Amino acid sequence: NPEKYNKIFNEAEKLAYDARKALERFDLKTVGALMNENHRLLQEIGVSCKELDFLVDLARDNGAYGAKLTGGGAGGNMVALTPGKELQERIASAMEKEEFKVLRTTIGGII
């Protein structure tokens, strides 16, 4: 349904612009909420999978500001946004307990 997909992609484009503005303000809670909304759109177009949805929910349930799949979807990778190392470690440990591989990263610098 081209009309449905056009609507979704237009929403995703707006989310990207809003995320950039939120990043410029260093408003991580808003960035997280936008990540969550983007993941919902990706689910709607069918590029997520049960494993990624499980990990996204696990990250959110453990306090991530936001989480979403990344890459081409249908398996692969997800990213979660946390406000600090302690929360990052809690989420990473929960994922490792479920036998998923975790790469811990940080971001910084000037946007």
Task: Flag whether 111 is in a domain.
Answer: no
| Residue-level pLDDT at 1 | 86
Ordered DSSP codes for 46-69: T---HHHHHHHHHHHHTT-SEEEE
Task: Flag whether 108 is in a domain.
Answer: no
Angle subtended by helix axes 2-24 and 28-44, to nearest 10: 170
Task: Flag whether 93 is in a domain.
Answer: yes
pLDDT tens for 13-35 read 999 999 999 999 999 999 999 99
> Greater confidence, 41 or 73?
41
pTM metric for this prediction:
0.90
| Residue-level pLDDT at 74 | 66
CATH code, domain with 92 = 3.30.70.890
Domain count, the chain: 1
For residue 95, the number of C-alpha atoms closer than 13 Å in the C-beta half-sphere is: 28
Task: Flag whether 65 is in a domain.
Answer: yes
Instruction: Report whether 31 contacts 19 (CB < 8 A).
Output: yes
Task: Flag whether 109 is in a domain.
Answer: no
| Residue-level pLDDT at 73 | 62
pLDDT tens for 45-81 read 999 999 999 999 999 999 999 999 998 766 689 999 9
Confidence grade of residue 109 (pLDDT, cut at 50, 70, 90)? low
CA distance 82 to 66: 8
Q: What is the domain extent for residue 26?
A: 2-97
The partner residues of 81 in beta bridges, in order of sequence, read 66
Nearest 5 degrees, angle CA 84-CA 87-CA 89? 105
Task: Flag whether 59 is in a domain.
Answer: yes
